[in-house]
Amino acid sequence: MNSEETAPDRRQLALVFDAPKRGKPPKHWADLSVDDRVQAVQTMGMPKFRAQQLSRHYFEHLNNDPQEWTDLPGALRDELAEQLFPRLLDPVRRLSTDKGMTQKTLWRLHDGALVESVLMRYPKRTTMCVSSQAGCGMACPFCATGKGGLQRNMSAAEIVEQVVDGARALRAGEIPGGAGRVNNIVFMGMGEPLANYKAVVDAVRTIVTPEPNGLGISARGVTVSTVGLVPAIRKLTEEGLPVTLALSLHAPDDELRDTLVPVNNRWNVAEAVDAAYEYSQVTKRRVSIEYALMRDINDQAHRADLLADVLRRKGSGARGYGWVHVNLIPLNEVPGSEFTRSRTEDMAEFVRRLESRGLAATMRDTRGDEIDAACGQLAATES
């Protein structure tokens, strides 16, 4: 690394894997398995059939307020609201842009923690970007969420509730374009999903379970991102959930990635890429390599060539390099940060070099710069 490529000096953030112990959110219907839901209603003195009735209200009708479930006795509705359908998320602010097609919501959790979700409607699909932790402990210096540290893990139901909120708004026609459905879920909001492994996997199972016992979204429409927690990637490989894995690489060499993605000091580039490749082979799902382009930090032409070399070490043969797709991201800048978005010509050259080496690469469509759409930016402005 020559002098003009050297990253600026910056405060070293702490890398945190274990979330601080805080009061757990109240248990919610979306935290329970199908069998546990049956047991829950029976414990409350209700017949078994009520379990599916409640699931229809929540997952199929997208109604999370038992007071509106008029096919149930009033007294029962009160008890259900308290014991099985507590309020988990309270909207603090909702901001929209792209003519209303992008909507970001800042949520306050039961203990005051703040998280964010983003709904993005495109001509042929609608994507929900959800948070899995309040804050993040991965300490990536260019990320707004990381600067705030890790507050706590979110529950499975708190994750699912973000999706339900977006799905409800779409079904009600509140987003321009008429009534619609959520097609894609990306775990790319606040937090490192695989550091909150059980809750994230439980939430994914609920998201992909067919109605009325889940939201019925295809597993192929779900993407789980990670900065490279190799043991958790290997564990996810064996879950039988054919979701897309997104590896947030951001640098192809250990020297640079050690500073940009500190978890690289635990599991390096080669180990992370190996685990991602194995995931693709077992699940038959193409892995996405996430790479945020930062001006004069990781966007040099030689790093595009090095990234191609790193990824081409895997997957030669009849399928070529079809196991992987590189998703290049124009950096969503954080005010006051030394990290800035790459020049347009440098981004174009980065794509060209990857494609010339036989790799599939695209530049992500940027949405919502004017509403602090980068994860953690909105929460950071809320006192």
231: part of which helix (H) or strand (E)?
Answer: helix 230-237
DSSP secondary structure string, 170-217?
HHTT-STTSS----EEEE-SSS-GGGGHHHHHHHHHHHHSPTTSS---
Catalytic residue (one of 116, 158, 192, 290): 116
User: Which residues does 170 contact at the CB level (< 8 Å), separation at least 6?
Assistant: 119, 121, 126, 179, 180, 181, 182
Catalytic residue (one of 161, 239, 375, 382): 375
Q: Hunting for tokens 């009735």 — which residue is that?
A: 53
Q: Answer yes or no: are the C-beta atoms of 159 and 199 closer than 8 Å.
A: yes
Distance CA 172, CA 226 (A): 33
Alpha-carbon distances of 60 from 150, 164, 306, rounded to whole Å: 33, 10, 47
User: Which residues does 366 contact at the CB level (< 8 Å), separation at least 6?
Assistant: 330, 332
Active site (annotated) includes residue 255: no
Active site (annotated) includes residue 116: yes
Q: Answer yes or no: are the C-beta atoms of 118 and 101 closer than 8 Å.
A: no
Q: Answer yes or no: are the C-beta atoms of 299 and 342 closer than 8 Å.
A: yes
Positions annotated as catalytic residues are 116, 375
